[in-house]
Amino acid sequence: MKVLVTGGAGFVGSHVVDRLIEVGHSVVVVDNLSTGRRENLAPEAKFYQVDICSPKLLEVLDSERPACISHHAAQVSVPASIQDPLRDANTNIMGSLNLLAACVNIGIKKFIYISTGGAVYGEPEYLPCDEDHPINPLCPYGVSKHSVEHYLYLYSSLHGLNYTVLRYPNVYGPRQGVQGEAGVVAIFAQRMLGGNEVVINGSGEQERDFLYVSDAAEANLLALDRGDRRTYNLGWGEGVSVNRLFGLLKDITGYSGREIHGPPVPEVFKSCLEARSARTELGWKPRIALEEGLLRTVDHYRRIAG
């Protein structure tokens, strides 16, 4: 099958590309390289440096005619979305609509959309959040990502576009940058390896559901032919505090610095996702435990640091 991955030179998208190629799919990547990196690209993938907001996107889809699209390209920074909600909406909503319009024009039948479980629910009313939890995002990023979920339902009803929505928790692993909330693993790991001061925002008792990147990639693979017109949370269903994350990374890296706490920042305090539906309907479950995932991530940053 030919699969087009938007944002395929980025952190999670590049791992999805690798997994698709590993099992024999033909992969096309569309990425404007604003945050993606050419060195993340698998040599077997065909690459177009095109923005999802560009009219050239239709030309790419018309030329390649993929059977499925995995849509990872996005503005992912919560602080950036608060600072500039128009830019966030232009990329995440208008860019996605440009892609959806191209899909209808070309006749593409399956669309895997990467949404966010960490930002759409807002401050949870209960934990872990399942897919029926009220949607009350507290940042423009969460609003923009969820808005496209409604457009997908509309395009399915009007045009027959099949889709699967994957709501990611805090994904971490090799190739991760410091953008977005989940970048705490990359920030802490790289600063510890460099012997630099690490600052924890607030009390450090904030909790997130950390998912290793290969588990996110596996969900994309399974969604190629499952989960039609369904929305799935991914995650462990357990929150991990920033203080615990700091301690684990300190042990793995051998960091000798002390724990430093700075002022708190506006954020959802605790978040974790119930992924029972993904288990029963996609056949998906997370496999890489936190300690193992952090070891792999730190090894990656050690290697690239030389």
Residues that are catalytic: 141
Residue whose C-alpha is closest to residue 36's, from 17, 10, 62, 66: 10
189: which residues sit within 8 A by CB, 6+ positions away?
Answer: 249, 253, 294, 297, 298, 301
Q: String of b and e for 90-106 (b: at least 16 CB within 10 Å)?
A: ebbbebbbbbbebbeeb
Largest CA distance in the chain: 59
In total, the chain counts a number of residues equal to 306
Residue 6 amino acid letter = T
What phi, psi does 8 have (nearest 5°)? Answer: -75, -5
Give the span between the Cα atoms of 152 and 159, in whole angstroms.
Answer: 10
Half-sphere exposure of 168 (CA within 13 A, CB side): 28
Note whether 71 and 99 are within 8 A (CB). Answer: yes
